[in-house]
Chain A
Amino acid sequence: VSEHRQALEARFAHILTDYGAAIARLAFSYEAVASVREELVQEIALAIWQALAQFRGDCSERTFVYRIAHNRGLTHVSRRRSPQPPLPIEDLEEADQPVDPRPHPEEQAARTGQRAQLMSAIQSLPVTHRQMIVLALEGLSHAEIAEVMGITENNVAVRLTRIRKSLKDSLGERP
C-alpha cells in the first residue's frame, strides 16, 4: 500500500510540475477574482489527485488533466449565483503583472495591454466556447480537443472557426 501510495504521490507531483501553469491559466478563464481563482486551482489539483488512482491510461495524461480541470471549472461557474462580468482591464493589469524580462518598458506595457484584452474577451465568451478556445490556446490539436470535450473533430473545427471570429470581433471592438 505504501509503495503504491508513493508511486501515486510521485506521479501527482510530476503532473503538478508539468501542468501547474496550464491549470492556473485555465482557472483564469473561469474565475476573475484572484483569491477565488487560487481556490479553484487547488480544487482542480485535488480532483486530479482523487481521480489519479483510477486512471488506467485509457486516454493521454494531458487529456486526463484537461478533462478534470475543465469539468471542475464548469462546476465552479454553475455554482456562482450570478454571472460574473469579465474583470476590467485595469484590474487585470494590476492583478497579474507579467514576469517578463524584456528590457523595453513600452513594449512590455503594450504586451500587458494586449494580454489583458485577450483575457477579458475570453472571459466574456459563453462557457463552452471559452473552454474550446482555451484548449486551442494551450496547443491541443483538434483531435485532442474533441477527446476532451466529447464531440467530433469536424465539430471542433467548425466551432473553433466561429469562436475565433467572435473573439476577433470582440478584440476589435475593444479600445
Chain B
Amino acid sequence: MTHTNDHELDTWRDQWSSVAAPPAEFQRKIQQRIKRQERRFLLGNLLTVIVFLGMLIFAVLMRHQSPWMGPNWSTGICVLVFIAAGCRLWVMRRTWRPETQSTRAFVELWHRRVAARIRLLRISIYLSLGWIIFCAALTAANWATIGQDVKAHPAEWVALLVVCVLMQYPMIWFAAVWLRRRKQAELTEVRKILDEMDGKS
C-alpha cells in the first residue's frame, strides 16, 4: 500500500487494505464461469439461427400449402423479421462494450442505452398494433374464402380468435408496459448518478 505524508489517508488505507480478500478458489470459479458463458453464447447464436431459418422454412411452406393466404403470410413474416432485426440494430448502435470506458462515459452511454430500450419498446408496441391491423386487413381481403370456413367451423375459429387476440395480445401488452416501467425506473436511477457526478446532489 502506498504511503504519503497524509496521515489520515494512510491510516484509512491501512484499514482498507485488510478489508477483504478474494473469495476462496477465486480463479477456478471464474474459469468455470467463463466456460459456461461461452457455451451459452454459442447455444444462443445457434438458437437464433435455427429460429430464423425455421421462420423462413415456415414462410416457404405456407406459400405452397395455403395458396389463398400463403404469399401474404410469408411476406408478412419476412418483413416483420427484417424490420425487428433492423430496429434492434439501429436502436442499439454505438452501445457495445461500454465498460472499458471511464465512469462518466459509461453512465452517459448507459443513459442513452436505457432511453434507446424505452424507444424500442414503444416501437414494438406500435409494431404489434401494426401486425394486428395487417392480419385484420388480410382477413378482410380474403373474407370470401375465410368466411365459408368460419361458417363451417365456427367453434374452432372462435377458439383461435380467443387465443390469438384476446389472450396473446393483452399478455404482450402487459409485459411491454411492465418492462417499460422497469426501464423508466432504471432511467431515473441513471439520471441520479449523472446528477451526482455533476455535483447536483
Contact = CB atoms under 8 A, between A and B. Distances in A.
User: Is the interface on chain B under 10, 10 to 19, 20 to 34, or 35 or more residues?
Assistant: 35 or more
Nearest to B34: A49
Interface string A88-99: 000000001011
B34 A46 contact: yes
Interface of A: 13, 16, 20-21, 23-25, 27-28, 37-38, 41-42, 45-47, 49-51, 54-55, 64, 67-68, 70-72, 74-75, 78, 96, 98-100, 111, 114-115, 118-119, 126-129, 131, 134, 136-139, 147-151, 159, 164, 167-168
B146 interface: no
Contact of A137 (B13, B34, B99): B13
B45 interface: no
21 contacts: A23-B22, A24-B22, A25-B16, A28-B20, A37-B20, A49-B30, A49-B34, A54-B97, A67-B99, A67-B101, A68-B100, A115-B15, A115-B19, A118-B12, A126-B201, A128-B103, A128-B196, A137-B12, A138-B16, A149-B104, A159-B199
Given A49-B30, A96-B19, A139 B13 contact: yes
A70 B15 CA distance: 20
Contacts of B22: 16, 20-21, 23-24, 41
B93 interface: no
Closest 8 CB pairs of A and B: A150-B102, A150-B104, A139-B2, A20-B22, A137-B16, A115-B15, A24-B20, A71-B106
Given A20-B26, A38-B23, A100 B103 contact: no
A42 B32 CA distance: 10
Given A74-B106, A115-B18, A150-B101, A42 B33 contact: yes
B190 A128 contact: no
B contact patch SS: helix
A contact patch SS: helix
Contacts of B2: 139
Contacts of B104: 149-151
A46 B16 CA distance: 24
B144 interface: no
B189 interface: yes
Interface in B170-201: 186, 189-190, 193, 196-197, 199, 201
Nearest to A34: B23
